[in-house]
C-alpha cells in the first residue's frame, strides 16, 4: 500500500520501495491530508496542527515547502492519477481508491462480501499512526480517527468470528486481527470473544475457557468489573462452537411465536444509568425517542416500549430477551454524565448469538436535553436501519431456494437495486418478478420494480426507453394502490414518477408522505433533493442532500447524493464545483458509468474541453452510438423542461444530434 497509516506511517512506491520525504513533519502533512479525506483541510489548520510552536509566517513557509515536496513525490508514490488539489485556502489529496490503507480498510470492513472483510482484517496492521511522534495539536485530531477505526476493527473481528469461522482463510484473518487488537488493548472484549468463538469452532473447549480467563483478568484489571454478560455466556453454547441455530435465524419467544410474523424485529432496551437519578430520567427519554423513531420504519417490527420497560433495572442476557420477546435484534445503551457533558453509547446486538453488530458513542452538552434526545434518536435510527437490512439480506441469501418467499426475494434484490449499473438493475428486476410471482400484491416489490424500470429509461439501459417509462408508470400505479405506510416503497413510487412524468406534484406527494412516516429515511431525503434540483430550488436541494448524508454517511446511494449536489451547483452556474462533485461520486462508486454524461456536460460548460472530451469518451465507450436524440428519449421529461443547459453541455462535449 503506497501510504500506510495503520500501525505506523509508511510511504512507498506501488512496488514496495520506501520513499523518504525531506522531514518528519512533511510526512505528517501528508498523513493529515489523508485523514482529512474528501473534505480536505485548510492551510491554516495544517499549519496549526504541525507548526503551532512557530510564528505564523514561519509556519506558512514550512507548509509551502512541505507541499512542494509532497507534490513532487506523489507520482512515484501513488501514480500519475494522484494529485494535491487546491481550492482557495483548502487542500485536498486526490488518490486512487487503493492508495491509502485506512480508506481501503474502511471500505472493505463494511462490505457484504466475506472475502472483502478478510482483506480488511489484513489491512489493519495496528492503531492509526501507532508509534509515530505527533504534535500536541495533531494528536487531538488523530485520537478521534484512531478510536473510530479501532471500533470498526473490533466490529469486524466479531463479524469474522461469528459468520464465516468455518473457513480457514477467515479463521486465520480473524485470529491475527484479534491478537493485534489485544496487543494494543488487553481488555478488548470483542477480540477476546472472537478468539473464544474460534476455539469453540475448532472444538477446543479448554482453550476457549483459558481465553475467557485471560479476558476476565484483563477486564478486572482495567475496569475493576466483570466482562459483559454476552462474553461470559459464550461458553454456555455447545462445545463445538456451533450455535443451536445459525446466526440470523428466526428467534421465537417462549410461546413459540416470532415477533413481527417473520419480519425482522427489534427491541430498544432500557439504557443503563451510570450517573444518578437525573441521568435515569434522561436515559428513559432517549429510549422513548429511539423507540418512536424506529417505529416509523416499516422495514421491521418494533416491540412496544411497555414490554421493554419490564427489563429496567434487571441484569439480563440479551439472548434471554430474544427468547422472551421473540426478537432478532436488541438496542442497548448507557448514559453517563460528567459535569455539563453527557455521554451516550448505543449498540445493536443480534439476540440469537449476543454478537454486537453496530455501536456508536454520542457526547454533547446537557444544556438542551430535549434537542439532544431528538438528535440522538434520529442518528441512531438512521444507522440501525441499514445495519439490520444488511443482516436480513445475508439471512435471505442463506435460505434454500425452495423456502424463499416474496419478502426474501425482495431482500435478495436490494444489493443489485442499489448498484446503479445496467447488468445489476436487470438482476434486480428479475428478482422482483420472482417475488411478484409468489405474491402479485406485494406493494414493496412493485414499488422498487417501478423505480428499476424508470432507471432503464433514464440511464439508456434499454433499447425501448418509452416502453420502460410506460412500464414504470404502470407499475408505480399498482404499487401506489397497495402501499400505505412503507417509507422506502413510497419513496420508490415518488422517484419513479419524478423520473418518468412531468407531474412532480404527484411524485412529491409520495416522497413527502415517506418523510412524514420516517423522517430519518436517507433515500427519501435524497430523492427530495433531486426533485428540488430539477426545479432549480438550489438551497433547498442542498439542504436535503446534506440531511441524507448526515443520516447515512455510508449509504449505498451516497454517490447519487453527490451527483444531486452537482446538479444543484450546476443550476447555480458553478459547473466547476458540479464537476468536482461528480468526480467525488465516481470515486465512491466507479462502476456508475452513466454519470460520465454529467461529468462531460459540466466540464464542457465550464470550458474544460480536454476533461470534457475524456469524460465523453468514457461515456461513449459504455454507450456506443449514443446521440442527443437517444438521450432526450430517456431523460426525465421534467429535467428536459427545466434544465435545457444539460443537453447543451452534452452537445459541447461532442455528442452528435442524431
* Nearest 10 degrees: Cα torsion 360, 361, 366, 367: -60
Number of domains in the chain: 5
Does the structure show a pLDDT above 50 at 254?
no
Question: Are 162 and 217 found together in one domain?
Answer: no
Question: Are 578 and 497 found together in one domain?
Answer: no
- Quote the pLDDT of residue 283: 75
pLDDT tens, 387-410?
A: 666 666 665 655 565 556 787 788
Report the CATH number that the domain containing residue 148 is assigned in CATH. Answer: 1.10.10.10
Report the chain's mean pLDDT, rounded to a whole number: 83
Can you tell me the distance from the alpha carbon of 23 to that of 31, in angstroms, rounded to the nearest whole number? 13
Mean pLDDT is highest, among 138-147, 239-248, 414-423, for 414-423
Can you tell me the distance from the alpha carbon of 549 to that of 556, in angstroms, rounded to the nearest whole number? 11
- Quote the pLDDT of residue 265: 81
- Quote the pLDDT of residue 548: 87
**Residue 101: inside a domain, yes or no?**
yes
Cα→Cα distances 22→16, 29, 65, 492, Å: 19, 12, 9, 54
Give the residue-averaged pLDDT of 318-329.
82
Cα 372 to the center of its chain, rounded Å:
23
Question: Are 369 and 336 found together in one domain?
Answer: yes
Does the structure show a pLDDT above 60 at 414?
yes
| Closest listed residue to residue 454, CA positions, set 256, 187, 246, 637 | 637
Report the CATH number that the domain containing residue 276 is assigned in CATH. Answer: 3.40.50.10610
Cα→Cα distances 26→51, 140, 461, 536, Å: 11, 18, 48, 44
Q: Helix, strand or coil for residue 625?
A: coil
| Residue 2 per-residue DSSP state | -
Q: Helix, strand or coil for residue 554?
A: coil
Question: Are 291 and 387 found together in one domain?
Answer: yes
Is residue 68 within 8 A of residue 178, CB to CB? The reply is: no
- 347 versus 565: which is more confidently predicted? 565
Question: Are 515 and 635 found together in one domain?
Answer: no
Does the structure show a pLDDT above 70 at 256?
no
Question: Are 214 and 168 found together in one domain?
Answer: no
pLDDT tens, 499-515?
A: 999 888 899 999 999 98
- Quote the pLDDT of residue 397: 58
**Residue 252: inside a domain, yes or no?**
no
Question: Are 282 and 314 found together in one domain?
Answer: yes
Is residue 409 within 8 A of residue 434, CB to CB? The reply is: yes
Band of residue 258 on the pLDDT scale cut at 50, 70, 90: very low
Question: Are 505 and 474 found together in one domain?
Answer: yes
| Closest listed residue to residue 495, CA positions, set 465, 475, 466 | 475
**Residue 178: inside a domain, yes or no?**
no
Does the structure show a pLDDT above 90 at 477?
yes
Can you tell me the distance from the alpha carbon of 244 to that of 374, in angstroms, rounded to the nearest whole number? 39
Can you tell me the distance from the alpha carbon of 597 to that of 614, in angstroms, rounded to the nearest whole number? 11
pLDDT tens, 589-642?
A: 888 899 999 999 999 999 999 999 999 999 999 999 999 999 999 999 988 887
Report percent pLDDT > 70 for the chain. 86
- Quote the pLDDT of residue 576: 95
Q: Helix, strand or coil for residue 250?
A: coil
| Closest listed residue to residue 305, CA positions, set 289, 328, 323 | 289
- 386 versus 106: which is more confidently predicted? 106
- Quote the pLDDT of residue 238: 40
- Quote the pLDDT of residue 249: 40
Question: Are 43 and 129 found together in one domain?
Answer: yes
Does the structure show a pLDDT above 60 at 588?
yes
Q: What totals of helices (H) and strands (E) does the chain contain, helices first?
A: 29, 11
Can you tell me the distance from the alpha carbon of 419 to that of 455, in angstroms, rounded to the nearest whole number? 11
What residues contact residue 572 under an 8 Å CB cut-off, 6+ apart? 538
Task: Name the least confident of 206-220, 264-278, 514-528.
Answer: 264-278
Task: Name the least confident of 71-75, 268-272, 502-506.
Answer: 268-272
φ, ψ for residue 146 (rounded to 5)? -60, -45
**Residue 525: inside a domain, yes or no?**
no
Q: Helix, strand or coil for residue 621?
A: helix
Question: Are 55 and 164 found together in one domain?
Answer: yes
Band of residue 264 on the pLDDT scale cut at 50, 70, 90: confident
**Residue 466: inside a domain, yes or no?**
yes
| Closest listed residue to residue 491, CA positions, set 450, 459, 545 | 450
- Quote the pLDDT of residue 262: 54
| Residue 128 per-residue DSSP state | B
What is the domain range of residue 218?
185-236
Question: Are 167 and 223 found together in one domain?
Answer: no
β-sheet bridge partners, residue 350: 329, 355
- Quote the pLDDT of residue 386: 66
Can you tell me the distance from the alpha carbon of 122 to that of 105, in angstroms, rounded to the nearest whole number? 9
Question: Are 97 and 133 found together in one domain?
Answer: yes
**Residue 575: inside a domain, yes or no?**
yes
Can you tell me the distance from the alpha carbon of 565 to that of 529, in angstroms, rounded to the nearest whole number? 8
Amino acid at each position: 500500500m503506497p501510504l500506510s497509516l495503520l500501525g505506523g506511517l509508511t510511504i512507498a512506491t506501488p512496488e514496495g520501495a520506501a520513499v523518504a520525504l525531506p522531514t518528519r513533519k512533511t510526512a505528517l502533512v501528508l498523513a493529515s491530508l489523508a485523514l482529512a479525506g474528501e473534505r480536505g483541510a485548510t492551510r491554516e489548520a495544517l499549519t496549526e496542527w504541525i507548526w503551532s510552536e512557530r510564528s505564523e509566517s514561519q509556519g506558512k513557509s514550512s507548509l509551502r515547502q512541505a507541499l512542494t515536496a509532497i507534490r513532487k513525490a506523489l507520482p512515484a508514490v501513488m501514480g500519475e492519477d494522484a494529485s494535491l488539489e487546491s481550492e482557495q485556502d483548502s487542500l485536498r489529496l486526490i488518490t486512487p481508491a487503493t492508495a491509502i490503507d485506512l480508506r481501503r480498510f474502511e471500505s472493505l470492513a463494511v462490505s457484504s462480501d466475506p472475502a472483502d472483510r478478510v482483506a480488511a482484517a489484513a489491512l489493519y496492521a495496528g492503531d492509526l499512526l501507532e508509534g509515530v511522534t505527533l504534535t500536541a495539536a495533531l494528536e487531538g485530531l488523530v485520537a478521534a480517527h484512531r478510536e473510530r477505526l479501532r471500533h470498526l476493527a473490533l466490529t469486524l473481528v466479531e463479524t469474522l468470528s461469528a459468520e464465516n469461522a468455518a473457513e480457514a482463510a477467515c479463521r486465520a484473518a480473524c485470529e491475527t486481527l484479534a491478537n493485534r487488537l489485544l496487543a494494543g488493548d488487553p481488555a478488548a472484549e470483542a477480540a477476546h470473544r472472537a478468539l473464544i468463538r474460534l476455539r469453540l469452532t475448532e472444538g477446543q473447549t479448554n482453550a476457549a475457557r483459558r481465553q475467557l480467563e485471560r479476558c476476565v483478568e484483563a477486564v478486572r484489571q482495567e475496569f475493576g468489573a466483570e466482562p459483559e454478560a454476552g462474553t461470559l455466556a459464550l461458553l454456555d453454547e455447545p462445545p463445538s462452537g456451533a450455535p443451536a441455530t445459525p446466526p440470523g435465524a428466526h428467534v421465537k419467544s417462549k410461546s413459540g411465536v416470532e415477533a413481527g410474523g417473520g419480519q425482522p424485529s427489534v427491541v430498544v432496551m432500557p439504557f443503563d444509568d451510570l450517573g444518578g437519578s437525573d441521568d435515569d430520567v434522561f436515559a428513559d427519554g432517549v429510549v422513548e425517542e429511539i423507540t418512536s423513531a424506529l417505529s416509523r420504519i416499516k422495514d421491521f417490527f418494533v416491540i412496544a416500549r411497555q414490554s421493554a420497560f419490564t427489563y429496567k433495572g434487571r441484569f439480563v442476557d440479551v439472548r434471554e430477551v430474544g427468547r422472551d420477546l421473540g426478537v432478532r435484534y436488541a438496542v442497548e445503551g448507557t448514559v453517563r454524565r460528567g459535569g455539563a457533558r453527557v455521554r451516550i453509547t448505543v449498540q445493536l446486538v443480534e439476540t440469537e448469538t449476543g454478537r454486537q453488530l453496530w455501536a456508536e458513542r454520542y457526547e454533547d452538552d446537557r444544556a438542551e436535553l430535549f434537542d439532544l434526545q431528538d438528535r440522538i434518536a434520529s442518528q441512531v435510527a438512521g444507522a440501525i436501519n441499514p445495519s439490520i437490512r444488511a443482516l436480513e439480506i445475508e439471512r435471505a441469501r442463506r435460505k434454500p431456494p425452495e423456502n424463499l418467499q416474496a419478502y426474501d426475494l425482495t431482500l435478495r434484490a436490494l444489493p443489485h437495486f442499489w448498484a446503479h449499473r445496467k447488468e445489476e438493475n436487470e438482476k434486480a428486476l428479475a428478482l422482483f418478478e420472482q417475488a411478484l410471482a409468489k405474491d402479485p400484491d406485494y406493494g414493496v416489490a412493485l414499488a422498487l420494480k417501478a423505480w428499476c424500470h424508470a432507471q432503464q429509461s433514464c440511464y439508456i439501459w434499454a433499447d425501448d426507453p418509452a416502453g420502460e417509462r410506460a412500464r414504470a408508470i404502470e407499475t408505480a400505479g399498482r404499487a401506489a394502490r397497495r402501499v400505505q405506510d412503507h417509507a422506502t416503497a413510497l419513496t420508490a413510487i415518488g422517484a419513479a414518477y419524478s423520473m418518468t412524468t412531468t407531474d412532480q406534484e404527484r411524485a412529491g406527494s409520495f416522497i413527502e408522505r415517506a418523510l412524514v412516516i420516517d423522517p430519518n429515511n436517507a433515500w427519501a431525503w435524497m430523492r427530495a433533493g433531486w426533485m428540488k434540483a430539477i426545479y432549480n430550488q438550489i438551497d433547498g436541494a442542498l439542504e436535503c442532500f446534506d440531511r441524507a448524508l448526515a443520516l447515512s454517511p455510508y449509504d449505498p446511494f451516497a454517490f447519487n447524493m453527490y451527483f444531486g449536489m452537482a446538479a444543484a451547483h450546476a443550476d447555480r452556474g458553478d459547473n466547476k464545483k458540479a464537476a468536482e462533485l461528480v468526480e467525488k461520486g465516481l470515486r465512491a462508486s466507479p462502476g456508475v458509468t452513466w454519470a460520465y454524461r454529467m461529468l462531460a456536460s459540466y466540464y464542457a460548460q465550464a470550458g474544460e474541453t480536454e476533461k470534457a472530451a475524456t469524460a465523453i469518451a468514457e461515456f461513449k465507450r459504455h454507450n456506443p452510438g449514443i446521440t442527443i436524440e437517444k438521450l432526450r428519449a430517456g431523460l426525465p421529461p421534467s429535467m428536459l423542461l427545466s434544465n435545457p443547459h444539460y443537453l447543451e453541455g452534452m452537445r459541447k462535449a461532442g455528442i452528435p444530434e442524431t
